[in-house]
Structure 1
Amino acid sequence: MSEEADLLSGSAITSFRLNGQFLAIAEELARPAGLTAAWWQVLGAVLREPLPVAGIARVMGITRQSVQRIADLLVEKGLAEYLPNPAHRRAKLLRPTSEGFAAVERIGPAHQKMAKRIADAVGDDWPACLAAMERLSQALDTLADE
């Protein structure tokens, strides 16, 4: 196998492992606030501005259908609401309710503690690690567009 093929395999396996690790941490942080990691992700995508389900899916890199199921659950639980979308009549915007904002806010202290623990474990290399992951993600986006 070529060096490039080894790098691709190693990058993929490491990213799969990281994804699992981050999801486990997210579940642990979200549970006391009455959320799941997936609910937290979707609410987090619309904290700054309401977005249509398709827009949330693009930001998160997952299917529109899976976001739609979570969005509908969040609305059913009173954690989010749908708003009319002036740009598209049928694609409503999702936005957190005050209860949704409060649930995400409750995660903040534990999130900060976990961030500190990770920063202490990784050290000064964390910004470079993030930059490398972002660069790899951008490269994969570029290849997908070709």
Structure 2
Amino acid sequence: MRKTKRTPAGETLTSFMLDFFRLNSRILAAGDRLVAELGLTSARWQILGAITGAEQPQPVSWIARDLSANRQNVQRIVNDLEADGLVRFEANPHHRRAQLVVMTDKGKQTFEAAMGLQAAWVNSLSDGLSVKEIEATHDVVMRLRKNLDDMSEPDSQE
């Protein structure tokens, strides 16, 4: 069996991805600590952000799609948010079973409080980085995401 060798870019990207996995774990843990006093976790905060960022109320499946997340996991978190009074379900005029997820006033206040905490935290986290460096890293991440999306399309498997 013949092994494919990594290109220099592939080798560097592998190292970057391992560091990115570690960074992601640390970001999630820091986010959990940051919003714990609000009764949130990073996952709950992320879902509230997706709901807030949507132009209109959406069913859970759309929220999951927008986050590139597993629908069942998003459903579980949305159910927890509903139990805590942060979101509610409303009838969907386009689909009887796929209810729309709507933020409550309590949910809006909690999300705004989380974003207030995030501002000082993210400003501190970005110390020593230029906007140009952050934008360049963002460009690389978005290109990798596009490449992954292109690889998952049926036509790209030929």
Work out which of the two has the higher radius of gyration on C-alpha atoms and give 1 or 2. Answer: 2
Aligned to 1:82, the other structure's residue is in SS state: strand
Aligned-residue identity in percent: 33
Higher helix share goes to which structure?
1
- Write the distance in 1 (CA, Å) between the matches of 2:94 and 2:24: 34
- Residue 136 of structure 1: how far off its partner (Å): 0.9
Per-residue CA shift, 1:80-119, capped at 9, x if unaligned? 0011112222111111111111111111222111221122
Letter in 1 for 2:145: S
TM-score by length of 2: 0.84
Question: Which residue in the other structure is 1:70 paired with?
Answer: 77
1:119-143 Cα distance to aligned partner (Å, 9 max, x none): 2232231111112111111111111
What runs of 5+ residues in structure 1 fail to find an aligned partner? none
Q: Give yes or no for the alignment of 1:97 onto 2:104.
A: yes
Select which of 125, 140, 143 maps to 2:148.
140
Report how many residues are paired.
Answer: 146
Pair 1:2-2:10 in alignment:
no
Instruction: Output the CA distance in 2 between the equivalents of 1:88 and 1:7.
Output: 47
TM superposition score normalised by structure 1: 0.90
Give the alignment's Cα RMSD to 1 decimal: 1.6
Aligned residue in 1 for 2:29: 24
Where in structure 2 are the equivalents of 1:51-130 lying within 5 Å? Answer: 51-124=58-131, 125-130=133-138
Which ranges of structure 2 fall in alignment gaps of 5 or more residues?
Answer: none
